[in-house]
């Protein structure tokens, strides 16, 4: 099989990558639309779709040149086909189909969540890649779920959030604290100078059976705490203590929920964490400890592979192509596409 081109455009990152058939990265690029959306404090779908369209053709040309390949040499072209914002999904999918038609290359519509899930199997990450089955904790701005990953296309959702995603909670609390968007990284930075034991914020669903999540009660508790202070900018130390206490609460909840999920999947030995929130150091340490306590190994891909990227899309494409799983060109992108 020839190298595979991957395209990601489901949210606010435009990304392209070329991997050889074994999964080694030949070229990759991620362009974040952070600057376009920041004035609105969140992703604006129409702006996202237009921004994907504006940068994708050049970006693909660039990664193909870096990889030293022509389109006809590709073994496949894979694009995120959902779930996500429909405008961006259409841009990436149609672009991939165009290449497939023009150059007679197989087309693969990749489930974005499966791409996050399969990232841990990239060779080189953990020796030759994690073997099935394993447990995935996906914590991003739009998703928060525990998934039993048993094979390509063989996933079982063990639990998911009843309200906000973990990253969404970070973003909302960051907003309450007057931080910019996206809030996660800024909140983690602020929390570094705070006292995490200053506030005993609630730990929603802690100890409860199963591995569902909930963050709205925690977020409301933070809002009440913020409201106790005078309107306007919070004193730096007050904000830092709230940030640190919130972050600890989220870390404890995620560790507890993951621990329950591990108990639900005793046949697995590896807990994989993916999604933007997996970049958080406090959360990684809490999950490492929770995994160790259950005799699991925690695999956390490097941050650039945890957040949205096209390496994971190309890799998921390779996994599918190896099994002969290709899509026809009438595939319609799916805003909702649960695992």
Scanning residues 294 to 313, which ones bind ligand KG4 (CB under 6 A)?
A: 307-308
| Residue closer to ligand KG4, measured from CB, 188 or 319 | 188
Contacts of 54 by beta carbon, 8 Å cutoff, 6+ apart? none
Name the segment binding Zn ion (CB under 5 A); options: 100-108, 136-144, 173-181, 209-217. 136-144
* The one segment of 140-148, 234-242, 291-299, 310-318 that binds ligand KG4 by CB under 6 A: 140-148
* Cross-strand bridge partners of residue 30: 15
CA distance 87 to 333: 9
Peptide bond into 17 cis (omega under 30): no
Q: Residue from 87, 275, 317, 333 that binds ligand KG4 (CB under 6 A)?
A: 275
Instruction: List the x/- string, 168-187, binding to ligand KG4 by CB under 6 A.
Output: --xx----------xxxx--
Smaller CB distance to ligand KG4: residue 63 or 312? 312
With CB under 5 A, what is the number of residues at the site for Zn ion?
2
Which residue, 194 or 275, has its beta carbon nearer to ligand KG4?
275
- The closest of 260, 170, 252, 249 to 212, measured between CA atoms, is 260
**Region near Zn ion per CB under 5 A, out of 15-23, 25-33, 132-140, 319-327:** 132-140
Member of 16, 59, 214, 280 binding ligand KG4 (CB under 6 A): 280
CA–CA dist 178, 183 (Å, integer): 9
C-alpha angle with apex 114: 256 to 282, nearest 5 degrees?
35
Closest approach, Cβ 72 to ligand KG4, in A, equals: 32
- In the complex, what is the shortest distance from the CB of residue 280 to ligand KG4, in angstroms, rounded to a whole number? 3
Side-by-side strand order, sheet with 25-32? 25-32, 13-19, 4-8, 76-82, 107-111
Query: In the complex, what is the shortest distance from the CB of residue 272 to Zn ion, in angstroms, rounded to a whole number?
Result: 14
Task: Decide the pairing of beta strands 154-160 and 144-151.
Answer: antiparallel
Residue 194 in contact with ligand KG4, rule: CB under 6 A:
no
Nearest-angstrom CA–CA distance, 334 and 89? 8
- What's the angle, vertex CA 303, arms to CA 261 and CA 237, rounded to 5? 90
308 binds Zn ion (CB under 5 A): yes
Name the DSSP class of 296. Answer: P
Binding span for ligand KG4 by CB under 6 A among 50-58, 127-135, 163-171, 265-273: 163-171
Q: Which stretch binds ligand KG4 (CB under 6 A): 220-228, 254-262, 276-284, 331-339?
A: 276-284
- Closer residue to ligand KG4 (CB): 23 or 182: 182
Q: Is the distance from CB of 16 to CB of 59 less than 8 angstroms? A: yes
Over its C-alpha atoms, the chain yields an Rg (Å, rounded) of 20
Stretch that binds Zn ion, among 57-65, 133-141, 247-255, 287-295 (CB under 5 A): 133-141
CB nearer to Zn ion: give 140 or 145: 140
Contact between residue 108 and residue 321 where contact means Cβ atoms under 8 Å apart: yes
Contacts of 46 (CB under 8 A, 6+ apart): 87
Say whether residue 141 binds ligand KG4 (CB under 6 A): yes
> What does the binding site for ligand KG4 look like in residue numbers (CB under 6 A)?
11, 140-142, 167, 170-171, 182-185, 188, 275-277, 279-280, 307-308
> What does the binding site for Zn ion look like in residue numbers (CB under 5 A)?
140, 308
């Amino acid at each position: 099989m020839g190298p595979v081109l991957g395209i990601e455009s489901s949210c606010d990152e435009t990304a392209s990558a070329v991997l050889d058939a074994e999964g080694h990265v030949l070229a990759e690029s991620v362009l974040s639309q952070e600057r376009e959306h920041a004035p609105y404090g969140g992703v604006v779908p129409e702006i996202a779709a237009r921004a994907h369209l504006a940068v994708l053709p050049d970006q693909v040309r660039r990664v193909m040149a870096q990889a030293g390949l022509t389109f006809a040499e590709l073994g496949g072209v894979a694009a995120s086909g959902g779930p996500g914002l429909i405008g961006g999904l259409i841009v990436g999918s149609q672009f991939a189909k165009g290449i497939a038609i023009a150059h007679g290359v197989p087309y693969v519509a990749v489930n974005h969540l499966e791409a996050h899930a399969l990232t841990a199997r990239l060779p080189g990450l953990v020796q030759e890649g994690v073997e099935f089955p394993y447990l995935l904790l996906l914590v991003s701005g739009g998703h928060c779920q525990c998934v039993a990953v048993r094979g390509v296309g063989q996933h079982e959702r063990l639990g998911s959030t009843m309200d906000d995603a973990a990253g969404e909670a970070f973003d909302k609390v960051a907003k309450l604290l007057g931080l910019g968007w996206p809030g996660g990284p800024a909140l983690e930075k602020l929390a570094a100078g705070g006292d995490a034991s200053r506030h005993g914020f609630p730990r929603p669903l802690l100890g409860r059976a199963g591995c569902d999540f909930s963050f709205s009660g925690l977020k409301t508790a933070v809002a009440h705490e913020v409201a106790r202070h005078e309107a306007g900018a919070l004193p730096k130390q007050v904000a830092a203590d709230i940030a640190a206490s919130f972050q600890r609460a989220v870390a404890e909840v995620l560790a507890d929920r993951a621990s329950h999920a591990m108990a639900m999947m005793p046949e697995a030995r590896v807990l994989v964490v993916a999604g933007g929130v997996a970049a958080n150091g406090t959360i990684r340490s809490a999950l490492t400890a929770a995994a160790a306590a259950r005799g699991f190994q925690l695999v956390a891909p490097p941050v650039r592979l945890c957040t949205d990227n096209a390496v994971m899309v190309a890799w998921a494409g390779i996994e599918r192509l190896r099994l002969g799983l290709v899509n026809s060109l009438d595939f319609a992108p799916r805003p909702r596409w649960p695992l």
